[in-house]
Structure 1
Amino acid sequence: MQELTKLPAAAGISLKPEYFDSINHCLETNIWFEVHAENYLIQGGPRLERLQDIARNFPISIHGVGASLGGPEPINPAHIKRLTNLLNLVPTAAFSEHIAWSGTEGNYLANLMPTPVTLESLNKTAHNIQQLQEALQRPILIENPANYLNFKGDMSEPEFMMSLVRKTGCGILLDVNNLFISANNTGIDPQRYIENLDPASLGEIHIAGHSADPIEKDLLIDSHDNDVSKGVWDLLDKAMSHIGPCPVLIERDANLPTFDVLIKERNMAQKLINAHKEVTSHE
């Protein structure tokens, strides 16, 4: 199979149709874009055609939200077929999915439900990852969740993730915003979490904005509707100190700013990546 990612060690942004026209005037070098797979599981049309055009000029990462890798059932074969068709139509530098439970009995849930961190769940999730990788003919990246409650398990979450890497040959998408939220909500040590990940398994990083729950003010929600917080920027810096420079995505899904504003935030991430490249080059 292919390498984990063909994305540059640079900063990218979530690609929304609202930004299609602005990309024609984008002057940034090494920029890349990520889209949600489920927004493009169609046979044709102008949106897919624009994505294909953009993929001819920029690296594209495709991020799935509906495979339900961590659910109790095998992946829906029809969903696998649609994903395979999409990757055949769009040159794809990396493909990622969540470790989550998002569907059952052919019905999709309106959320990413937590996957039990148990030996039984580990084997089922590994089977689903292998099934998807075989269909796509590439290793995928699996994303750590944002946790809102403490659940009992047979191992820690990073141990669960690394076990999946060893069993399937997949890689990890470290969502630093999710890790920051989980640390706030459940009390885990984010630095220890990062240190338990093998840097060689990391293919991509996500950062995003979050918000406080309107009722439980101390609870953070993975809302993707704000600027990246200082705490997440600081945790990203610590993560790259362990992992090294790698692709970093500014994830924004709601309350969208103008393209120029998002590019400014993207360039902040690029400066941090460049700083870690300089450190690496002197070691």
Structure 2
Amino acid sequence: MAHSSSYVTGIGWRHPHYEGLLESKPELDFIEVHSENFFGQGGAALALLQQARRTYDVSLHGVGLALGSAAGVDPWHLDRLAGLVERIEPVRVSDHACFARGPFRGATVHAGDLLPIPFHQRSLDVLCANVQQVQERLKRPLLVENLSAYVSFNSSAMSETAFLSELVKRTGCQLLIDVNNIYVNALNDRLAGGGADPVRACMDWLNQISPEAVTELHLAGHQDCGDIVIDDHGSLVCDSVWQIYRHAQHQFGGIPALIEWDTDIPSLQVLLDEACRARAVVSAPADVAMT
């Protein structure tokens, strides 16, 4: 269901809003779901997603491929994702530049979290190999998302933007840029002693990414805990992130944007209002964009 605006926006479709969205069919360009919630071969969840697909484009966003893991991609996970892609025919498929799989007590286990990877050649080789494997199986480009990371590695030999740009160059994948993740990292860098203005640092980060590499943007809220900022997806998008998002849209030429909300999920109308603001912020004059 296309919107009259040229800016394509969507919301993350979570369980509390399954029924409400299907009944009201609000005006959205697409919805995004976590792929792993629909890995069953049948059942109610998959039937609901197939019903929604008849009205909306669907973007599949994964949290379990663990693309940066030296242990490789879990064959079962990739099989289930390939089956879901075949059933739903999504407009985009994405996951994160992270690791989560590794050996533990003689078995390969999944940490159940999005853990950061160092930005050096060996981890880039691992990430590229895993992304290539997924793309070959899915027969389509994969979108890879930048991470909100609460630790960094002394062994990193390149910047995050150089690392992601090289990934795109070597694999032909695309990037899903999470604007809130960039801002969370910039805030935590300042808390750790970095002196850069967080908004300016985020805009500089975006300026280092080729517009041709980016296919989707994510927007979300975060929580300031005093000594650390957490990317919890549990609140409204803040003014600074809207400002960075506006810069990103002008930098990248207008690409699909998604409102993510995963904790303390509000009413569906709140998400729809945020999606409307994602259009308005980009098209408004600079002096009124944040009001």
TM-score, normalized by length of structure 1? 0.90
Amino acid at match of 2:61: H
Find 2:68's aligned residue among 67, 70, 89.
70
Q: In the TM superposition, what is the alpha-carbon distance from 1:26 to its structure 2 partner? A: 2.9
- Is 1:108 the counterpart of 2:110? The answer is yes
Q: Which residue of 1 aligns with 2:43?
A: 45
Shift of 1:274: 4.3
In the alignment, the residues of structure 2 paired with residue 168 and residue 18 of structure 1 have an alpha-carbon distance, to the nearest angstrom, of 37
State the one-letter code of the partner of 2:113: N
Say if 2:145 is the partner of 1:133.
Answer: no
Residue 230 of structure 1 and its aligned partner are, at CA, apart by 1.0
Q: Is the contact between residue 149 and residue 185 of structure 1 (CA under 8 Å) also seen in structure 2?
A: no
The counterpart of 2:159, out of the listed 136, 156, 166, is 156
C-alpha distance after superposition, 1:191-210 (max 9, x if no partner): 22101100011100001000
SS in structure 2 at match of 1:117: coil
Give the Å deviation of 1:241: 2.1
Are 2:217 and 1:205 equivalent residues in the alignment? yes
Task: Supply the distance in 1 between the matched residues of 2:212 and 2:242 (Cα, whole angstroms).
Answer: 22
C-alpha contact (below 8 Å) 1:41/1:86 kept by paired residues: yes
User: Is this contact kept in 1: 2:7–2:279, CA < 8 A?
Assistant: no
- Percent identical: 34
Deviation for aligned residue 1:31: 2.2
Distance 1:41 1:150, change over 3 A: same
Unpaired runs of at least 5, structure 1: 1-7, 277-283
Count of residue correspondences? 265
2:57 alignment counterpart = 59
Matched, 1:219 2:228: yes
1:1-283 alignment, distance < 5 Å = 9-23=7-21, 24-28=23-27, 30-105=28-103, 106-152=108-154, 153-186=156-189, 187=194, 189-213=201-225, 217-275=226-284
The CA distance in 2 between the partners of 1:272 and 1:12, in whole Å, is: 15
The residue type paired with residue 209 of structure 2 is L
Q: Which runs of 5+ in 2 are unaligned?
A: 1-5, 286-291
In 1, are the aligned partners of 2:118 and 2:152 still within 8 Å (CA)?
Answer: no
Shift of 1:9: 4.2
Q: Write the distance in 2 (CA, Å) between the matches of 1:147 and 1:18.
A: 28
Q: Which has the higher contact order (CA 8 A, sep 6+)?
A: 1
Deviation, 1:75, is: 0.5
1: CA distance, partners of 2:7 / 2:228? 32
Match of 1:173, as an amino acid? Answer: L
Rounded to whole Å, the distance in 2 between the matches of 1:148 and 1:207 is 19
| Backbone CA RMSD of aligned residues | 1.5
CA distance in 2, matches of 1:33, 1:174: 17
Deviation at residue 91 of structure 1 after TM alignment? 2.1
Is the Cα–Cα contact under 8 Å of residues 173 and 202 in structure 1 kept in the other structure?
A: yes
What is the CA–CA distance in structure 2 between the aligned matches of 1:274 and 1:169, rounded to whole Å? 31
Shift in Å at residue 275 of structure 1? Answer: 4.8
Encode CA deviations 1:1-28: one digit per residue, 9 max, x unaligned.
xxxxxxx841100001221222231341
